Structure 1
Amino acid sequence: MTRFLLTPLSVAMLAGFGVNAVASENQEPLETISVLGNSEALHKLPGSAHLVSAEELEQFEFVDINRMMRAVPGVYLREEDGYGLRPNIGIRGADGGRSGKISLMEDGVLVAPAPYSAPEAYYFPTAGRLHSIEVLKGPGTLKYGPFTVGGAVNMISTPIPNETTGKVQLEAGEFGENRLHTYFGGTTDTTGWLVETHQQQADGFRKIDRAGSADIAKEDYLLKGRLNSAEGAAFAQQLDVKLQYSEEESGMSYLGLTDADFAADPNRRYGISALDEMRNRHSTLQLNHSIALSDDFSLNTQAYYNKFKRDWFKVSLGELLADANMGDADAQAILDGAMDAEFGIKHNNRNYVSRGVQVSANWQLQTGTVQHDLEIGVRRHWDEVDRFQPVENYRQINGELVYQDTTDPSSSNNRIEDATANSLFVYDQIQLGEKLALTASLRYEDVETAQQRYNDVDRREKGSSRSNSVNEWLPGLGATYAVSNAVTLLAGVHRGFAPPGGGSSEGEAGDLSTNYEWGARFDNGDLRAELIAFYSDYENAVQNCSVAVPCANGEDSGNYALGESDIRGVEALVATEWSIANGWLIPLSASYTWTEAEISRSNFDGSLQKGDNFAYLPENVFAITTGIDSGAAWRINVTAAYQDEMCVNNLCNRGTSDKFDVTESLWVMDAAAHYEFSDDLAGYLKVDNLLDEQAIINRAPDGARANRPRTASVGITYQF
């Protein structure tokens, strides 16, 4: 079940940048973790926050981030490849395309390859190695930034164990799936370490005409080290080092199916996309230092360097597929391989770098009878994306793909974009007596971006260029009132912002909104519930244009202003656990999100009108999880999730749309059974999409695509 996320005072930096404060002499060393169970901290939390815990992730042994997060209220997930390799996560109506409108982090560090200049997250941490996932909405997002229009997602990697221990997990399943996840680590009085790897392979469930299947191979390695001061030192200090490296080769494509072909076989893929493949490498260096200068004051510093290189070699045939959908026999024959044709396959070749330093101070003080938990943080960040994207030309001859020649990249595919950002936040939790708590926050973002295009492959002749400068003050205020030990009322308002990206021109401001929320929490120890309403008033909503999610004007780079917009919704969550005879337990949790969004004023060029809807935003999302736990050797868990159909463009409300403008609604059920053979050895059987229900869950950018079919897997876990 999804639980509330608490951020205790002793781990102040988790709430700010993800670096923990130093533990006292009587505490175990801490990494970037969340601690549950502090009711006082819960009552003061000025917004909606949830933790998907390690125990919850173990219930279903998911390796797909979409499945891991779908029970979190206020979150929308648009599947694409069936494995969650490049997810599309939206929060409270903020555009979910490539998760480009949320503050996406791992261990407190922005994880998008270039979060300011190219925020679309074509890299995503390997979900199968994650320890837990935090989701934060409301005024608290001002501590994370820069994306405060929707929310923040912080993924927690495996922590260094507090004793020498390890784990080996092996899994095999249908469609050639197999997985290895193992780690080993330990702790002494002044040191700690961890080594970890996650290996994932699959043949894939989509069968390519005349070419087999779309396979996947991904490997991920993680190394952590820690030094902390000895007992009795003048100041308690801790230094953490994290190194990460991953590689991926996957036969992923943007080409979907016509609706007729989807109805015949949703797992088919056209042979004209047989050469499509993603190759990428990612590396991270992260340094965290914490020092407690007194019982009330701590200082935390974090430096990071991320590098990501990718080449997604893929065909783009959206117009051909649209023609086939409209009954064009020649277009269908080309897709089927029955007619010869010439086409290009682009090397979507990009290099990303991001680096930065962030420092935060936490000071607990009292002014009269008022208690303050004050945090102040600054960050200096720089990132860059370098695109060099030639096109290989092919001819389809009797269904075979024959190479012709290579076309040098145009200036739009031969460019560098970079961004420099300076950020500041001040966050004060103010306790005004036993029942009332206020949270005052202020964030400042100063962003400078630039783009340079080149007219030749040697980059000696510069083409067009553009630059932009944006600075915004983002205030926020939240309040909680403890009606009783079980009931807490909350309300908050904050300024939403999302930077416009490296391709923006001077004067483009990015997303700007005023976000409100109000609601109540209930927790009596046996039953937890939450009901929160939210409303976002956008002065300007901006869509990031990409090949994966083209803008309303058809562009696949830069951005596009949607204009003034309104988003409103309700989030609900309930969770409990029943104890029955012989120590058996029946957990039950359910979450629901209702959202309505529309353009409230025509945009600058009149292409979008008042009343037009948001693309890829479902009105209703629901999830329920239950099971039975014997309290001894075995347990069974079942989860079901529903998502409404979605409009794929902004025009569905006009009444002129057809079936190609919407996806399909879908119920999906997953199940898992675990059996513990001993304290160290356990086995499990899991079935994703138990009822084998498939639907059109995505049409962007080129045709209909289905969710993953029923997939059964068996696994074994040994801990030592």
Structure 2
Amino acid sequence: MARFTLTPLSLALCAALCSQGIAADSPQALETVSVLGDREALHSLPGSAHLVSAEDLEQFEFVDINRMMRNVPGVYLREEDGYGLRPNIGIRGAFGERSGKISLLEDGVLVAPAPYSAPEAYYFPTAGRLQAIEVLKGPSTLKYGPFTVGGAVNMLSTQIPEGSAGKVQLEAGQFGENRLHTYYGASTETTGWLIETHQQQADGFRDIDRAGSADIAKEDYLLKGRLSSAQGASYAQQLEIKLQYSEEESGMSYLGLTDADLAQDPNRRYGISALDEMQNRHSTVQLNHSIALSDTFSLNTQAYYNKFKRDWFKVSLGSLIDAANAGDIDAQAVLDGTLDYENVGIKHNNRNYVSRGVQVSANWQLQTAGIAHDLEFGVRDHYDDVDRFQPVENYSQIDGELVFEGVSDPSASNNRVGKADATSLFVYDQIQLTSALALTAALRYEDLETSQQRYENNERTEAGSSRSNSVSEWLPGLGFTYAMNDSVTLLAGVHRGFAPPGSGSSEGEAGDLSTNYEGGFRLHGGDLQLEMIAFYSDYESTVQNCSVAQPCANGQDSGNYALGESEIRGLEASIGGQWQLANGWSVPLKASYTFTDAEISQDSLAYVTSNGEDGLAEGDNFAYLPENVFAVTTGIDSGAAWRVNLTAAYQDEMCVDNYCNRGDTDQFDVTESLWVVDAAAHYDFSADLAGYLKVDNLLDEQAIINRAPDGARVNRPRTASLGVSYRF
């Protein structure tokens, strides 16, 4: 009797419902994990793909997405707040600022608040509730889009269980950290449901002068329901609904420290930023319908609606940091709170986002002239917008306290609406030419229209400047795998890279355009898995999205800036396995390494930056892109009640601008390299009850990992937590 499975990535964009056939008289839960969920199948995929499984996540009980993903080669992670609330994820050299150059998905649906009009992901799913994470690079990314210059990251939420199952997890630790994660769900032949919540609080590890600490409170709720066809139905089909809601209040700021103050106390924060706080709310409605019309043809339809509202109330005082770093004693006194200071503007970075769409895809398995085809094709109609209304509250610092003075209406740049309408198509065919040789042909089409309208008054009755743009791109790709034997597979691929330019673009701006190549091999033999892939991306157009978090090379903090032509080359390597010892003991090992070399390959148009430099030139480097990234995980498992795991991660220093390679740089132009070691020990009291002790940053090593936008910041200090988990 045929068996049916559905991969999480194809849950959204490719209905692989009949990858192994399905009989109508044998209904199965369609919300299951296969392909990327099956480590054996990873070795036959036509490109670079990596899975962070539920077992991997449970090893360390991480709640920070940066820690969860750092064993994935080809991925760069830049910390900011120490908790991974708004991560900066880059793939294969694509800019990592707010993960704005990757296709970011949850359960196969684009999850960035406005992926086309404002791609920077100021919302990110609560990492502590994720069941698995998938990363795709190479030609396979053409199925998911629109960001194909780097790759796709799909986060899998907790799935409806077979039968009935639940979990309660409680954790408490240093710096007032505590969290609750609990869910319960059940299934019958034709129905299924799940309810889940994840609650996270912390006092924070940064102490604010004269104001306590920067606390965090985040709550997330998830509800799923499923209806499936009964046994004997004409067609096997399934309808799912997913409802999600989250809130966050966190005392996060963009203001860092001077290097001198950081050397004295890296976890200090200036009192002039005491009012800084992020407040946000996010909600999702997602409907999935899947139907197998035959053993070889199936359809999958998804409709989604995401809404995100945020107000990041924060000060911008980078000029004071720069002046104090240069030795200005008055600037230092203002930061210390010992000198009065006027015109402390704290902006309500208030934005509302909407993202909605429908996507339909099909999977057809057929034979032509004796050659097997696994053909997938689909279409997505998508709309998103971002509405900014950002007034500034004015304060004065008097005797170290902030005194309210009044409110300034937003300028036109802070009173604007950006919109995007996009239609995308894809065709993806995996062709088994021989028992050893498989060819993958892909084609994606992106057609989008963007617009931005600025307003001159609060009522928005006086329109200011406006801009619009239309972009259409055909994105082909080709890849192959060749199985030399049962253990070794060669792979290679080439595809067209694209990233939309955002709603701030003007007519004719194309966004990122590149030709991406990869080639390497996989070795799978017994307890050992090895993969090594070289990649090369030739950009004919490189665009940086400007933001306050990371201003563009010309000093602007909104819109975008064209860096021109560039080249990115690198090497990814990973190795893993588990060795069995005597008496049932085992030692797992996993390691990954990424080398990246990126540079501007053609002089750009001249301009003068805020620091007086001329325009970008051939040979200039990329900002915030480490040359070497390395991670290794190991441990020991008793095979019975207890296990201990260790992971160590290294990241090179990074240039904070595009000019590090020109010489005449100083300490303020780079971050610092860093080794971080995390540890976790688990003990099973019974088959259902387990306890654990975890220590993040075991050696308490802290270094400057970020200087954008306003001063130096370090990673999280050593933090120990105790937890207990009960499954029922």
Measured after TM superposition, the shift of residue 44 of structure 1 is: 3.9
The residue number in structure 2 matching 1:703 is 711
Hey, what does 1:589 align to over in structure 2?
590
Supply the AA of the counterpart residue of 1:47. Answer: G
CA distance in 1, matches of 2:39, 2:187: 30
Q: Is the 8 A contact 1:12 1:362 kept in 2?
A: no
1:645 aligns with 2:653: yes
Q: Which amino acid aligns with 1:15?
A: S
CA gap 1:681/1:39 in 2 versus in 1, 3 angstroms: closer
Question: Contact 1:43–1:481 at 8 Å: present in 2 too?
Answer: no
Select between 517-526 and 61-70 the one with higher mean Cα deviation.
517-526
Following TM superposition, by how much is the alpha carbon of 1:17 offset from its aligned partner in structure 2, in angstroms? Answer: 2.7
1:330-341 aligned at under 5 Å gives the runs 330-341=330-341
What percentage of aligned pairs have identical amino acids?
Answer: 78
**SS of match in other structure, 2:6:** helix
Residue 535 of structure 1: aligned partner? 536
State the match for 2:168 in structure 1. 168
- Indicate whether 1:404 and 2:410 are aligned: no
- Counterpart of 2:68, as a letter, is M
Return the offset for 1:641. 0.2
- Residue aligning to 1:5: none
Work out the CA distance in 2 between the residues paired with 1:56 and 1:26: 32
Please tell me the residue identity of whatever aligns with 1:645: E
Which of these residues, 644, 648, 651, is aligned with residue 636 of structure 1?
A: 644
User: What is the CA–CA distance in structure 2 between the aligned matches of 1:529 and 1:30, rounded to whole Å?
Assistant: 31
Change in CA separation of 1:418 and 1:37 when aligned onto 2, cut-off 3 Å: closer
In the alignment, the residues of structure 2 paired with residue 468 and residue 223 of structure 1 have an alpha-carbon distance, to the nearest angstrom, of 38
Question: Structure 1 length as normaliser, TM-score?
Answer: 0.98
| Residue in 2 that maps onto 1:362 | 363
Q: What's the secondary structure of 1:673's corresponding residue? A: strand
Change (3 A) 1:12 1:62: closer
1:306-334 alpha-carbon deviations (Å, 9 max, x no partner): 00000000000001110000000000000
* Cross-structure match for 2:416: 415
Q: How does 1:13-412 map to 2 (within 5 A)?
A: 14-15=9-10, 17=12, 21-22=16-17, 24=23, 25-26=25-26, 28-31=28-31, 33-35=33-35, 41-342=41-342, 343-412=344-413
* Root-mean-square deviation over aligned CA pairs: 1.3
CA separation of 1:12 and 1:169: change in aligned 2, threshold 3 A: closer
CA distance in 1, matches of 2:37, 2:235: 28
SS state at 1:11 partner: coil
Aligned to 1:4: none
Question: Residues 613 and 19 (structure 1 numbering): CA distance in 2 closer, same or farther, change over 3 Å?
Answer: same
Q: Which runs of 4+ in 1 moved over 2 A?
A: 8-28, 32-44
Aligned amino acid, residue 567 of structure 1: I
- 1:613 pairs with 2:621: yes
Query: Whole-Å Cα distance in 1 between the matches of residues 547 and 337 of structure 2?
Result: 28
1:696, distance to aligned residue in structure 2 (A): 0.1
- The alpha carbon displacement at 1:657 in A equals 1.5
Report the 3-state secondary structure (helix = DSSP H, G, I; strand = E; otherwise coil) of the residue aligned with 2:668: helix
> Aligned AA for 1:644?
D
AA at the equivalent of 1:689:
N
Superimposed CA distance per residue, residues 260-289 of structure 1 (whole angstroms, 9 cap, x where no aligned partner): 000000000000000000000000000000
Residues 1:37 and 1:152: Cα distance change in structure 2 (over 3 Å)? closer
**TM-score normalised by L of structure 2:** 0.97
The answer (yes or no) to whether the contact 1:44–1:437 under 8 Å persists in 2 is: no
Q: Against the structure 1 CA distance between its residues 684 and 13, is the aligned structure 2 distance closer, same or farther, given a 3 Å change threshold?
A: closer
Closer, same or farther: CA 629–39 of 1 in aligned 2, 3 Å: closer
Match of 2:9, SS?
Answer: helix
Deviation at 1:603, TM superposition (A): 1.4
Provide the C-alpha distance between the structure 2 equivalents of 1:32 and 1:511, rounded to a whole number of angstroms.
35
Displacement after TM superposition at 1:13 (Å): 7.5
Provide the C-alpha distance between the structure 2 equivalents of 1:39 and 1:349, rounded to a whole number of angstroms: 43
Q: 2: CA distance between counterparts of 1:306 and 1:37?
A: 26
Structure 1 CA distance for aligned equivalents of residues 79 and 421 of structure 2: 32
Indicate which of 669, 672, 694 corresponds to 2:680: 672
Shift of the 50–510 alpha-carbon distance from structure 1 to 2, 3 Å rule, reads same
The residue type equivalent to 1:174 in the other structure is Q
Deviation at 1:45, TM superposition (A): 1.4
- Counterpart AA for 2:536: Y
Answer whether contact 2:421 2:448 (CA < 8 A) is retained.
yes
* Cα distance in structure 2, aligned partners of 1:665 and 1:256: 18
**Residues 54-96 of structure 1: per-residue CA shift (max 9 Å, x gap):** 0000000000000000000000000000000000000000000
Tell me, yes or no, if structure 1 residue 446 matches structure 2 residue 441.
Answer: no
SS in 2 for 1:540: strand
Cα displacement string for residues 393-438 of structure 1 (whole angstroms, at most 9, x for unaligned residues): 0000000000000000000000000000000000000000101000
Gap runs ≥5 in structure 1: 1-7
Taking structure 1 as reference, are residues 410 and 502 closer, same or farther at Cα in structure 2, changes over 3 Å only? same
In the alignment, which residue of structure 2 is the partner of 1:3?
none
Q: Which amino acid aligns with 1:685?
A: L
Q: Name the CA shift for 1:19/1:715 in 2 (closer, same or farther; >3 Å).
A: farther
The amino acid across from 1:660 in the alignment is F
8 Å Cα contact 1:18-1:107 kept in structure 2: no
Amino acid aligned to 1:403: F
Instruction: State the alpha-carbon separation in 2 of the partners of residues 13 and 156 from structure 1.
Output: 7
* Residue pair 2:8, 2:107 contacting (<8 A) in 1 also: no
